[in-house]
Amino acid sequence: MYSKSRKIRSVIVMLAFMILAATAWGGSPARAESGVPEPYRIVALGDSLTAGYEHGYTEKSVPYGYVEQVYEQSLFHGLRAEYVNYGILGLKAEGLNRLLQAVSGGRTVKADDIQKELQDPRKETLAAQTSQMAKSIRSASLIVLTIGGNDLLPVMTKLDSGATAEEITTYIQTILDQYEKDLEASIRTIAALNPKAQMVMSDQYLPVPAPLQFGSTTIELYPEAKRKLLLDGVTKLRGKLELVSTRLAAEGIKLQVADVSSLFVGHELEYTSIAQGDIHPNHLGYAAMGRAFATAIWGDYRTVRPRQANVQMSVVVAGKELPASAAPPVLRSNRSFVAMRDITDALGAKLTWNNATQSAAVSYNNHTVILTIGSAYVTIDGKKVKLTTPPAFLLKSGKESKTYLPLAALSEALGLQVTYRGTLQTAFINK
């Protein structure tokens, strides 16, 4: 199987994989003078798992890996979140260490200065971003990381070479010893750049499933002796990760470990593309990784309630989903509108209605905003401002009429962060 895997991987790296995984800081910039809180900034570093690569990706593919799901979980927790992804395909621990040394030293480097024969078509662009990486790391609230899978990849070649189990074990130990040194150096560099950021790193999963048992018949999808050697390597790599974490903790540098490997046990064929010869996670695998990271960071993993057939999206305000009894969002001219009363109540804002002028006044965050039904303008603290969105309108809901306004107007008029995630069909509104 791994002979086939190597062939397919060599084809994969020839693809023009130009994913724009390095998503710029999203959301509105902080405005301290208006009381808007600083953003919760997420920085992702590491290899193709961080980049969100899946089997079959091309230059037009949009990643939805564990990083994007960590970002969504931050929105679920009411955080005004932004993220940037610096994941590099084929990166090893040594390459990460060299990259971070360049970042810390303020040096501009070429891809080969980081790691020879990197498989990422974006490698020169990413290598040239050391200055931006330094700024990102220094301002980060959370840093997530995956590294180690590519370090163990040569073991597969060694297994197919006919080497003895003893030779393989010695080879793995040599790799792991170097991995430990490079990983510790990398974490120390990150901590020196930003000692306050929370750092969370995952362990490695084994994509090879155990033998299948049908009655008294055992079917090995991969030679069991070789699988056990790989499993031993993955287990020892986790041990190295915990050793580094413990050693750094004694110096006040905290590195949390997200338990990914256990979630993949028994789900290797379900969570990866190993049946197609690709060891990367599929969408289910990345969802499992997202759960592991979210649990390590926040202690839980959140989702929205099942929606009724006539409800087109969910709305989460300041970390709390609007109740099912709330007026459902409405889609008009490809724009999402929400009931103003439900949003202001969830935010704790004061809303008053002027029937004579058909206008709603919102007092929130030391500001007063007036929106008038059908008007292309909004009044913010007495100043008339033209909306870049459609105007508010009245919609009858039960026995009463409710003021509906476009989601984007919440950001423009009230200074909120409004983020729509099509992956979840959910709008997040955060202070």
Which pLDDT value is given to residue 52? 97
Domains delineated in the chain: 2-298 (3.40.50.1110), 314-430 (3.30.457.10)
pLDDT tens column, 149-205:
999 989 988 888 888 989 999 999 999 999 999 999 999 999 999 999 999 999 999
Q: At what angle do helices 165-193 and 93-105 cross, to 10 degrees?
A: 20
Cα 63 off chain centre by? 10
Distances (CA, A) of 151 to 79, 187, 188, 327, 339: 35, 17, 20, 53, 52
pLDDT tens column, 252-305:
999 999 999 999 999 999 999 999 999 999 999 999 999 999 999 999 999 999
Which residues of the chain fall below pLDDT 70? 1-36
Angstrom distance (rounded) from CA 304 to CA 325: 15
- For residue 58, the surrounding DSSP H or E stretch is none
Task: Please state, as a whole number, how many other Cβ atoms lie within 10 Å of the Cβ of residue 64.
Answer: 18
User: DSSP secondary-structure letter at 37?
Assistant: P
Alpha helices in 16-148 (DSSP H): 48-51, 66-76, 93-105, 111-114, 123-127, 130-138
- Per residue in 91-124, is it b (16+ CB within 10 Å) or e — as a string? bbbbbbbbbbbbbbeeeebebeebbeebbbbbbe
Which pLDDT value is given to residue 134? 98
Cβ atoms of 57 and 410 within 8 Å: the answer is: no
Give the per-residue SS3 of 347-405.
Answer: HCCEEEEECCCCEEEEEECCEEEEEECCCCEEEECCEEEECCCCCCEEEEECCEEEEEE
**Which residues partner with 369 through β-bridges?**
362, 380
- For residue 214, the surrounding DSSP H or E stretch is strand 212-214
Task: Please state, as a whole number, how many other Cβ atoms lie within 10 Å of the Cβ of residue 48.
Answer: 28
Going by C-alpha positions, the residue among 48, 27, 49, 51 that lies closest to residue 39 is 27
Helix, coil or strand: residue 337:
strand
